[in-house]
Amino acid sequence: MNLHEYQGKEILASFGVRIQRGIVAHNAKEAVAAAKQLTVETGTGWHVIKAQVHAGGRGKGGGVKLAKNLNEVEEIAGSIIGMNLITPQTSAAGKKVHQVLVAEDVYYPGETETSEFYMSVLLNRSTGRNMIMYSTEGGMDIEEVAEKTPHLIYTEEIDPGTGLLAFQARKIAFNLGLSGTAFKEMTKFVAALYTAYVESDSSMFEINPVLKTSDNKIMAVDAKVSIDDNALYRRKQYAEMRDLREENPIEVEAGALGLNYVDLEGNVGCMVNGAGLAMATMDLIKQAGGEPANFLDVGGTADAARVEAAFKIILKDPEVKAILINIFGGIVRCDRVAQGVIDAYKNMGTINVPIIVRLQGTNADIAKELIDNSGLDVQSAVQFQEAADKVKQVLA
Amino acid sequence: MSVLVNKDSKIIVQGFTGSEGTFHAEQMIEYGTNVVGGVTPGKGGQEHLGRPVFNTVLEAVEKVGADTTIIFVPPAFAADAIMEAANAGIKVIITITEGIPVADMVKAADYIKDKDCRLVGPNCPGVITPGEAKVGIMPGFVFKKGTVGIVSKSGTLTYEAADQVVRQGLGITTAIGIGGDPIIGTTTKEAVELLINDPETECVVMIGEIGGQLEADAAQWYKNSGSKKPIVGFIAGETAPAGRTMGHAGAIVGGSDDTAQAKKRIMRECGIHVVDSPAEIGLKVKEVMSK
């Protein structure tokens, strides 16, 4: 589950990680009040107004701006809230901004130059251990750094038995070229960050940039935090942070019905049991000349109610020109799925797109007979290739 | 021969008396699998499906000589069940449970790494050696006995592949569902290695999906092994968008290295017969085995 920057920072701060402080505002008036309060609390003169949406590259899209006085705070907050923010990570339509974070200015001048670093905590899938990935090249697109200067990216893997060790934190601070107060601050920062990662059951932290301020403090200026969905049952306080406005509404609705659905941009909808087979079905649609309109795993129980729910979800997408149902019946009997399809079809009245049903496995023959004799405008197939050929025909 | 499970495996079911455990244990017994008992803490001493229930895995090892377990324990307790089985001396731990927190699996994977055991899964359909033992949730009738080994991250796609192979008049030695989670006990490479080294297996079907490096690692190992046994490969998720999880927690394109296209390219370079269409797995197996 992805969180907003301000939520991620809240979690970090609760584990003692130093953050760039800020207050959330939902309109220009609130933003001005937040700015005043922040000046009292932190002494900051200038303010940074940051759009809170689940997408990276906000600065590039004009969603992060510096305000040098309260008039500018009001003006900038007013223009960012309500805008459709388009960044390299959003769709072409962009994402609507509902709130901004009014944050303190941390790039103030002082005794030393400021510097920016990159740091993330994530699972190394090949070793099954967590690792801290970091770089001297902060504030930049890390994929670009990885491509152009891979030697500037370091990793530190953590033994689950011991947790992060003191020498590892020192190694990170040394590799980032720090000394004196900043060095000590960085070792504390890294230790607190790793504790926060483990204790919050996160699946990803990305702090870009980590800033060394002109007075040698180390802090998280941004925070991209994802919590492990499987662990939300024991992290209820974070589960409550979910912002449904940031998610695709059809996906949210499908999730509530227990369907695993991902909205795509194609023209052939599909309904499949099992994630691997669902992906394979999408690939087959493409090879048949179509484009998959969705990923949809109906899971183990494909009864009439579930099939009907899945139909309704798929048909919400006006681009869908055909639907391919691909069920491999194992424990689930195909004849029951076929009956489910027929019942759902009848309940819904007319479905105005061609439907191809491919049922294979337990009682597949009976299922095909049921479909063929139903009198409905549904084509049946038994072999995977047959289904692909029928998709090709209806698209032609 | 076969790998991981056979007719002599002494199998217990952890989470035996729960609804999932009961349903699938019944199916396994009906298939003829040698289920010697089950474990449900607090229900030790009872009998379930005509088999003894034990409070601990250790008790099952001591009293009925269990060497293999299948875990249906709910996600919050599943990692603990894995560690208990490893601690008790179980050799093959097959974990069906889906949705185990990653942090729990980091701990469990670390705990079992020095123990003499093999974990398969979690979030997998299990392992089947046709005619001998079904230790999983797959429909047994699809898997006819033969000489083709299957390794797969996915459940229904494994059944699909097995069905296609059987329709070509061939059959299966052992099918291993390794699971689609970010942390799994048996990797694609390890499962492929087991099957390549199995004298009865003449061809291996390797089914992967987007995300991670497992298929590339397996392909590299195969190339270096110099084995002459053919491998037929398929990678699901060519049309999956980057950055989105496709059902399986591990099925997500992170960078340019774990796309379906990149994986297929590496597999081809390593001598694997890759099919682009999931409908052509069986045909390709028949073709390479006729050479």
pLDDT of residue B246: 86
pLDDT digits (tens, 9 = 90+) for B128-159: 999 999 999 999 999 999 999 999 998 899 99
Minimal Cβ distance to A283: which of B207, B217, B238: B238
Which residues of chain B does A360 touch, with a Cβ-Cβ cutoff of 8 Å?
160, 163
How far is Cα B222 from Cα B235, in angstroms, rounded to an integer? Answer: 17
Which residues of chain B does A325 touch, with a Cβ-Cβ cutoff of 8 Å?
none
Q: Is any Cβ of chain A less than 8 angstroms from the Cβ of B180?
A: yes
Contact state of A128 with B251 under an 8 Å Cβ cutoff: no
B contact test, residue of A1, A283, A325 with most B CBs within 10 A: A283
Of A5, A6, A104, A118, the active-site residue reads A118
Measured between CA atoms, the residue of chain B closest to residue A158 is B106
Which residues of chain B does A286 touch, with a Cβ-Cβ cutoff of 8 Å?
238-239
Beta strands in chain B (DSSP E): 11-14, 35-39, 47-48, 51-54, 68-71, 92-95, 118-120, 126-129, 133-136, 145-152, 172-177, 203-209, 231-236, 273-274
Residue with structure tokens 């003191």?
A: A166
pLDDT digits (tens, 9 = 90+) for B2-32: 899 999 999 999 999 999 999 999 999 999 9
pLDDT of residue B248: 83
- Three-state SS sequence of chain A: CECCHHHHHHHHHHCCCCECCEEEECCHHHHHHHHHHHHHHHCCCCEEEEECCCCCCCCCCCCEEEECCHHHHHHHHHHHCCCEECCCCCCCCCEECCCEEEEECCCCCCCCCCEEEEEEEEEECCCCEEEEEEECCCCCCHHHHHHHCHHHEEEEECCCCCCCCHHHHHHHHHHCCCCHHHHHHHHHHHHHHHHHHHHCCEEEEEEEEEEECCCCCEEECCCEEEECHHHHHHCHHHHCCCCHHHCCHHHHHHHHCCCEEEECCCCEEEEECCHHHHHHHHHHHHHCCCCECEEEECCCCCCHHHHHHHHHHHHCCCCCCEEEEEEEECCCCHHHHHHHHHHHHHHHCCCCCCEEEEEEECCHHHHHHHHHCCCCCEEEECCHHHHHHHHHHHHC
Which residues of chain A does B239 touch, with a Cβ-Cβ cutoff of 8 Å?
264, 266, 279, 282-283, 285-286, 291-292
pLDDT of residue B250: 79
Q: Is any Cβ of chain A less than 8 angstroms from the Cβ of B1?
A: no
Question: Considering only residues 13 to 42 of chain A, which have any Cβ-Cβ distance to chain B shorter than 8 Å?
Answer: none
Q: Is any Cβ of chain B less than 8 angstroms from the Cβ of A248?
A: no
pLDDT of residue B177: 96
pLDDT digits (tens, 9 = 90+) for B29-60: 999 999 999 999 999 999 999 999 999 999 99
Which residues of chain B does A362 touch, with a Cβ-Cβ cutoff of 8 Å?
139, 141
CA distance B287 to chain A (A): 17
How far is Cα B231 from Cα B267, in angstroms, rounded to an integer? Answer: 10
How far is Cα B280 from Cα A274, in angstroms, rounded to an integer? Answer: 19
CA distance A61 to chain B (A): 20
Average pLDDT, rounded, for chain A:
93
pLDDT of residue A213: 98
Q: Are A379 and A390 in contact (CB under 8 A)?
A: yes
Q: Which two tokens stand for residue A352?
A: 């105005």
CA distance A282 to chain B (A): 6
Q: How far is CA A154 from CA A5, A335, B51, in A?
A: 24, 56, 54
pLDDT of residue A337: 86
How far is Cα B112 from Cα B121, in angstroms, rounded to an integer? Answer: 13
- Read off φ and ψ for residue A54, nearest 5 degrees: -85, 75
Contact state of B106 with A328 under an 8 Å Cβ cutoff: no
Residue B103 DSSP SS3: helix
Q: Which residues, in sequence order, are CB contacts of B87 under 8 Å at separation 6+?
A: B57, B58, B115
pLDDT of residue A305: 79
pLDDT digits (tens, 9 = 90+) for B75-101: 999 999 999 999 999 999 999 999 999
How far is Cα B81 from Cα B197, in angstroms, rounded to an integer? Answer: 30
- The proportion of chain B whose per-residue pLDDT surpasses 70, expressed as a percent, equals 100
Q: How far is CA A89 from CA A126, A138, A392, B242, B243, in A?
A: 27, 19, 33, 11, 10
pLDDT of residue A301: 66
Q: Which two tokens stand for residue A1?
A: 């589950």
Contact state of A234 with B76 under an 8 Å Cβ cutoff: yes
Contact state of B248 with A361 under an 8 Å Cβ cutoff: no
Q: Which two tokens stand for residue A367?
A: 């299922």
Question: Averaged over B233-244, what is the pLDDT?
Answer: 92
Contact state of A276 with B209 under an 8 Å Cβ cutoff: yes
pLDDT of residue B193: 98
Q: How far is CA A157 from CA A133, A135, A200, in A?
A: 9, 15, 19
Q: Which residues, in sequence order, are CB contacts of B234 under 8 Å at separation 6+?
A: A280, B161, B205, B206, B207, B208, B274, B275, B278, B281
Contact state of B159 with A361 under an 8 Å Cβ cutoff: yes
Which residues of chain B does A271 touch, with a Cβ-Cβ cutoff of 8 Å?
none
pLDDT of residue B87: 98
ipTM of the complex: 0.92
Of A5, A74, A185, A206, the active-site residue reads A206
pLDDT of residue A243: 96
pLDDT of residue A300: 67
Entry pTM: 0.93
pLDDT of residue B170: 98
pLDDT of residue A363: 85
Question: Averaged over B199-215, what is the pLDDT?
Answer: 95
Catalytic: A118? yes
Question: Considering only residues 31 to 70 of chain B, which have any Cβ-Cβ distance to chain A shorter than 8 Å?
Answer: none
How far is Cα A147 from Cα B256, in angstroms, rounded to an integer? Answer: 11
pLDDT of residue A382: 85
Question: Considering only residues 246 to 285 of chain B, which have any Cβ-Cβ distance to chain A shorter than 8 Å?
Answer: 246-251, 255, 260, 276-280
pLDDT of residue B242: 85
**pLDDT tens, residue order, chain A (396 aa):** 999 999 999 999 999 999 999 999 999 999 999 999 999 999 999 999 999 999 988 999 999 999 999 999 999 999 999 999 999 888 888 999 999 999 999 999 999 999 999 999 999 988 999 999 999 999 888 888 888 999 999 999 999 999 999 999 999 999 999 999 999 999 999 999 999 999 999 999 999 999 999 999 999 999 999 999 999 999 999 999 999 999 999 999 999 888 999 999 999 999 999 999 999 999 999 999 999 999 999 886 667 778 888 988 998 888 999 999 999 987 778 888 888 888 888 888 878 899 999 998 888 889 999 999 988 888 888 888 899 899 999 988
Average pLDDT, rounded, for chain B:
95
Residues of B annotated as catalytic are 248
Q: Is any Cβ of chain A less than 8 angstroms from the Cβ of B109?
A: yes
Within 10 angstroms of residue A166's Cβ, the number of other Cβ atoms is 10
pLDDT band at B253 (very low <50, low <70, confident <90, very high): confident
